[in-house]
Amino acid sequence: MQVKDYIRTIPDFPHEGIMFRDVTTLFLDPRGFRMAIDQLLHPYAGQRFDKVAGLEARGFILGGAIAHQLSVGFVPIRKKGKLPGKTVQQDYKLEYGEATMELHDDSLEAGEKVLLVDDLLATGGTAEAGIKLIEKLGAEVIGCAFVIDLPELGGRGKLEALGQDVHALCAFEGA
């Protein structure tokens, strides 16, 4: 089986016309989950990382497993108001409006190398906010790894235009 085979599609969630790609079925299967973690790391074999940053919320699951595998620290990038300490913030655009992501201001040091991880790349807005937060602290994003890419939404192009290396395990057509 391939990683894509473990992902369930739920039509019309969270609203009509959306085909929700549910990675919880991937996480449920130990072989599928292990395969995803190994494949997310594969293009970065031999590179040095200081930290793995995961985007809320499924990026925490993937990022935590990857950080464990690499024996490096994990940095959560959260929605505004969820982190208890002093933070740096980055606004980003949603389909209808804006939102804000945050990162503890002491979670990264200047010069550290960071792998950014999430389950899904759609428009790239959340990942772009994560990249900007990491860079605000003087760290360097050396790659962006996703389980799923939705190519029609243009996120890969947005991140590559920022000079980022983008790796996705599979792609689904449509939104």
Length of the chain counted residue by residue? 175
Is 21 assigned a catalytic role? no
Residue 60 and residue 108 in contact, taking contact as beta carbons nearer than 8 Å: no
Of 21, 58, 78, 156, which one is the catalytic site residue? Answer: 58
Residues in contact with 42: Cβ distance below 8 Å, sequence separation at least 6, in sequence order: none
83-90 long-range contacts, Cβ below 8 Å, gap at least 24? 88/133, 88/136, 88/137, 89/133, 90/129, 90/130, 90/132, 90/133, 90/136
Choose the catalytic residue: 16, 95, 98, 173. 95
Q: Is 58 a catalytic site residue?
A: yes
Active-site residue set? 58, 95
